[in-house]
């Protein structure tokens, strides 16, 4: 499992107490729950990106993509014209 997935579970568990307080009418706990839900959303998005990278790498952790070599001439075929 990824580090973000573990953090997602911990974040969810930490929100349970505030959720009970929010349901009892505690407005500050409502704000904390909203913030935690935003954190969970962001972690879920990061996990989604990790899974797409894993899929594209064929099941192996993805390495950074190498940079493409520069094209000869450096002007992208414009021959120095049209600046």
Q: Is the confidence at residue 11, as pLDDT, over 90? A: yes
Tally Cβ neighbours within 10 Å of residue 39: 16
Domain range summary for the chain, segments of one domain joined by +:
3-56
> Which residue in 42, 36, 37 sits closest to 4, CA to CA?
42
Please give the model's pTM, rounded to 2 decimal places.
0.63
CA dihedral sign of residues 20, 24, 26, 30:
positive
Q: How does pLDDT run across 15-62, given as a tens digit for each residue?
A: 999 999 999 999 999 999 999 999 999 999 999 999 999 999 987 665
pLDDT for 2: 80
Q: Is the confidence at residue 68, as pLDDT, over 70? A: no
**CA 58 – CA 7 distance, rounded (Å):** 25
**CA 29 – CA 23 distance, rounded (Å):** 9
- The residue with greater pLDDT, 68 or 23, is 23
Is-contact 34 21, C-beta < 8 A?
no
């Amino acid at each position: 499992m990824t580090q973000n997935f573990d953090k997602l579970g911990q974040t969810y568990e930490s929100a349970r107490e505030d959720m009970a307080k929010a349901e009892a009418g505690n407005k500050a706990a409502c704000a904390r729950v909203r913030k935690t839900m935003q954190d969970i959303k962001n972690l879920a998005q990061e996990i989604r990106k990790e899974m797409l990278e894993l899929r594209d790498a064929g099941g192996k952790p993805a390495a950074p993509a190498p940079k493409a070599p520069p094209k000869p001439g450096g002007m992208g075929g414009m021959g120095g014209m049209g600046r």
